[in-house]
Chain A
Amino acid sequence: MDTMTNWHERLIRKTTRPTLVTTYRYWVWVAFLVAIVANGVFQYSKQWSEGLYVTGMRDRISWGLYITAFVFFIGISHAGTLISAILRASKATWRAPITRIAELITAVALVVGASFVLIDMGRPERIFNVFRYGRWQSPIMWDVMAITTYLTASVIYLYAPMIPDLALYRDRLANKVGFIRRFFYETVALNWRGLPSQVRFLGKAITIMMLLIMPIAVSVHTVVSWIFAMTLRVGWNTSIFGVLFVAGAIFSGVATLVLVMATLRRMYHWEEYLTPKHFLYLGYLLAAFAGFMIYVNINEYLTEGFKLEESGEFAFRQLFIDDFAAMFWFYVIGGLIAPIVIMLIPKTRTVAGVVVAAILVDIAMFLERYFIVVTGLRVPLMPYEPASYAPTFIEWSIFIAGVALFLLLITIALKVLPMFAVWEMTEEHELAIARQTEPVLQTGYEGPAPGVSGSPGPDGLTEGGLS
C-alpha cells in the first residue's frame, strides 16, 4: 500500500497545485482576460445607450452574432454534464479524471450563453416582464425554463461530487490558504467526514442527479432549436432541428472539453492523470458524433433539397455556392470529415491530433450556428432584394468578451475548486491495482468512495450508489 499512499499524496499535491501556486503568468493571463471583458462591457454600454442600432442587425436579418453566441455557448455547455452523466451511467471507468472539468465547463458556458440573450434584447431593462407576463406557449419561455432548470441542475451536479474533495481541501489546505478561502471550504464542505451514512447519501444524490440531468440536457438544446424550428422559415422549418442541435451541442461540447483539458494538462503537468487514452477516447467520441452529424445533415438537406420548395433554391444556393459557401464547406470538410479522418489514420491518432480535431470542430460548430441563424433569416419572404448582415466592431467586441468571460470564469475556478474528483480517481486507482491481483471481483464495479482519503474496503462495494 505504500505505492498507493504515494500515488494518493502525489495526486493531492498535483490537484491542489493551481490553488496553492499562483504564478506571475497567471496574473498576466487574468489581467488580459479582464481587459477584454472590460472592453466588452464598455462596448455594451454604448449599445445600452444607443440601442441595437450599433449592431449590424436590421429588420430583415434581425438576429446575428449574439444569438449565434447564445446557441454556441449553450451547446458547449453540453460538454460536461451530459458527457459526465453518460459516462457515469455507462460506468466508463476512465471518466474519473475528466468529469469535474467537464461539469465546470457546463456551468460556466451556461452563464455566458444565457447572458447573450440579455445582450440581444432590445429592452433588457424589461427582462422581468418575462416573469410577470410570461406565456408558456412561447418557445422563448421554454428556453427560459429549460436553461434555468439546467443551470440549477448542473450546478448541483458539479457541486455534489465535489463535496468530498472540498472536504479534502478544507482538511489539507487549512494552513496554506487565506482566511476567505478557508472559510469558503469549511462552508461548502458541509461537514463532510466520509461517514458511511454520508457516503450513502451522496451516492444516491449523484445517481438521482445523473439520471435527471440527461433528459434536462437533451431538452435544453432541443428547445433552443425550437426557437428556430417553430417558425415558418425555409431552412428552419424542419423537425430534424432538435436532433441536429443536440448532436451539435454534444459535438462542440466534447471539442471544448478536449481543448480545456489539453491546456490544463500542459500548464499543470497533469499528464499522469489526463492520459493519451482520455484524449483518444474523446477523439473517438468526436469522430462518432461527426459521423452522426453527417447523417443528420444529409437528412436535413436531402429532404429539403430533393423537393426544393418555394425559396428552397435561394436557400441552398447561398449556402452551397454563394455567400455562405466558404463557411458551409469549412464546416463540412474541416468540422465533420477531418475529425473522422484524423481518428482513422494511426499517425494522427495522437493527443496532438485530437486537439487539432477539437479546434476544427469548435470553429466549424461556431460557423454552423452562425450560418443557421443568418441564412435562415436572409431568405427573402417577399419580393425584395436579400438583405446582408455583417457583425459590427461592437458585436465582435462583445462576442470576444463572452469568450474571455468563459475563460476567466474557468481560470478563477481553477484557483478555488478542485479540478479533479480526487476521491473518485483514488477509487479507480485502487480498483485498478486490485484488478491486477484479483480481476474477477471488481469487474464493472463503479461507485462513490466512502471516504476522503481512506480506502473503501469491502463495505464500499455494497454501498456503492450506482449499483
Chain B
Amino acid sequence: MSKRVETAESPPEPRREIPIPLDAVDRRTVLKYIGLGALGAVPLVASTQLMDGLVKDVVTGPEAAGLAAPTGDATTKFGRVRQWTMIIDLAKCDGCQSQGTPPQCTTACIEGHFAPQPMQWIEIYEAELSGGGTQFIPTPCQQCENPPCVKVCPVGATFSTPEGTVLIDQDRCIGCRICMAACPYDRRFFNWGKPPIPPEAALADYSPEQQTPASRGTVMKCDFCPEMVRGGTLPFCVQGCPNDAIWYGDFEEDVATNGRQIVKATQLISERNGYRLKEHLGTQPRVYYLPGHGEDIGRDPENEGRMPTEWPWIERAEGAVTWTR
C-alpha cells in the first residue's frame, strides 16, 4: 500500500465547473457510491486462478468463457462484471505546464508501477491543433475491445479480460514483438535490456495486473490498474493529475469519477462530444477523449512544450542500463 501515491489530495484550485449536474463530493463518498469501496472489502482471490480463467478465455475462445466467470473480477452488486473505461478531459490537461512539473499522471504511474525508464505507460503527446498551437493528449493503452495486439500474440501472453481491458502476462511472453507492430497507438514497450528498476520493485509479487518486477525481453504497457480499483482506489494516473482531467469509470453502472466528482459516464462523453483515437480503425478503445487544449486551466494553445518525464527512483536502480525509445 505504501506504493500508492495520493497526489490528488493536494488542495484544489479554482476551476471551471464540469457541465455535468453532479455535486462535488469527497473521494470516500465517490468510491462508496460507485461501489469500489465495497470491492475493496472483497478479498483478492488467488490471482493466479483468476489469470488462468482469463487466459483460457482468450486462448480457447468463447466456448471457454464459462471458465472466466470469475469470482475475482470486479462486479457490480448485481454480480455483473464491471466494464472499465477512462475519459480524459483535454480541456483540463495542460501537460502540467501550470504546475511547472513533468506530467504528474505519468510520474504517478511510473512511481506506482516502477515502469522502467524510458517507458511512459501514459504518455503526454503534444499534437498540432488544426488552427495552430498545440494540445496535450495523455495516452494510456487504449484498452481496445477489438485489440490488434491480442489478435496477433502467438502464445496468448496478451489477452482481453472480462472487464474489457487488455493485460500482458510477462511470464509467458516470448518477446516476438509482433504486438508492438500491431498496436496502432504506440502503447507497447519492450524491455530491451535488464529493466532499470529500484531494489524494492524486485521484491514485489508479480501478477499481470501489477507488472512488477519487470523482466527482460518482455513487453509491458498500461494495465488500467484493475488491482487498484478492486482495492478501492483510483489508478495512479487519475490520482496523480492535479487538474482532475482523468475520469475513471465503469460502463456497467454507467458512472465515472475523477476523484473529486462523480458523473454519468455516457452522459459526460455525449455532452462533451467525446471521441476516441483513430476511431476509423475499428479498434473500439475503452479510452475516450473530451476535446480541448487545457483551456479550463487557462492554457494558451501557443504555449508549447512540457517538462520531460522523470524516473524519480532511477538513481536507486543500481547498475541499470537504460535506453531511449
Contact = CB atoms under 8 A, between A and B. Distances in A.
Interface of A: 50-53, 55, 57-60, 62-63, 117, 120-124, 126-127, 129-130, 132-135, 137-141, 144, 227-228, 230-233, 376-377, 380-384, 387
Contacts of B175: 52, 121-124, 126
A122 B218 contact: yes
A199 to B, nearest CB: 44
Given A140-B154, A384-B186, A127 B174 contact: yes
A132 B219 CA distance: 19
Contact of B325 (A59, A63, A134, A138): A59
Contacts of A383: 125-128, 137
Contact of A53 (B137, B177, B323): B323
Given A53-B323, A59-B188, A232-B281, A129 B155 contact: yes
B307 interface: no
A63 to B, nearest CB: 7
Interface in B164-208: 172-178, 180-186, 188-194
Contact of B217 (A52, A59, A138, A227): A52
20 contacts: A52-B192, A58-B323, A59-B180, A62-B190, A122-B174, A122-B190, A122-B191, A123-B216, A126-B174, A133-B155, A133-B157, A135-B155, A139-B178, A140-B176, A227-B178, A230-B152, A232-B148, A377-B181, A383-B127, A384-B186
B178 A382 contact: no
A138 B181 contact: no
Contacts of A63: 177, 181
A132 to B, nearest CB: 8
Contact of A120 (B176, B180, B182): B176
Contacts of B148: 231-232
Contact of A121 (B139, B176, B186): B176
B2 interface: no
Given A138-B178, A230-B182, A50 B190 contact: no
Contacts of B177: 62-63, 120, 122
B193 A53 contact: yes
Interface residues of B, number: 48
A377 B181 CA distance: 7
Given A129-B155, A134-B154, A230-B152, A123 B218 contact: yes
Nearest to A50: B193
A51 B323 CA distance: 12
Contacts, number: 145
Interface of B: 58-59, 123, 125-128, 137, 139, 148, 151-157, 172-178, 180-186, 188-194, 216-219, 281, 283, 321, 323-325
Which 10 A-B pairs give the minimum distances between C-beta atoms? A122-B175, A122-B217, A53-B193, A140-B154, A138-B154, A123-B217, A133-B155, A383-B127, A381-B186, A53-B192
Given A227-B178, A383-B126, A383-B128, A129 B193 contact: no
Given A51-B192, A57-B192, A63-B177, A129 B172 contact: yes
Contacts of A387: 325
A44 to B, nearest CB: 14
Contacts of A51: 191-194, 216-217
Contacts of B154: 130, 134-135, 138, 140-141, 144
B186 A58 contact: no
A377 B189 CA distance: 14
A228 B123 CA distance: 26
A139 B152 CA distance: 6
Interface majority SS (helix, strand, loop, mixed), chain A: loop
A139 B173 CA distance: 16
A137 B181 contact: no
A405 B157 CA distance: 33
A234 to B, nearest CB: 10
Nearest to A373: B181
A174 B102 CA distance: 78
Nearest to A144: B154
A47 to B, nearest CB: 10
A462 B86 CA distance: 75
Given A52-B192, A232-B184, A381-B186, A58 B174 contact: no
B20 to A, nearest CB: 29
A139 B179 CA distance: 11
Contacts of A117: 176
Contacts of A62: 177, 180-181, 190
A140 B178 contact: yes
B185 A382 contact: yes
A134 B59 CA distance: 8
A169 to B, nearest CB: 42
Contacts of B128: 383
Nearest to A226: B152
Nearest to A380: B186
Nearest to B170: A123
B155 A130 contact: yes
Nearest to B195: A51
Nearest to B277: A382
Contacts of B58: 135
B285 to A, nearest CB: 13
B197 to A, nearest CB: 14
Nearest to A140: B154
A305 to B, nearest CB: 19
A170 B316 CA distance: 68
Contact of A59 (B174, B190, B194, B321): B190
A228 B176 contact: no
A377 B194 CA distance: 24
A127 B173 CA distance: 10
Given A63-B181, A233-B181, A382 B156 contact: no
Given A381-B184, A383-B128, A122 B216 contact: yes
A117 B175 CA distance: 11
Nearest to B180: A62
A448 B125 CA distance: 67
Given A51-B194, A62-B181, 7 more contacts: A59-B186, A63-B181, A122-B217, A123-B174, A129-B174, A232-B182, A382-B137
A418 B84 CA distance: 65
A228 B58 CA distance: 22
Contacts of A122: 173-177, 190-191, 216-219
A120 B173 CA distance: 14
A231 B217 contact: no
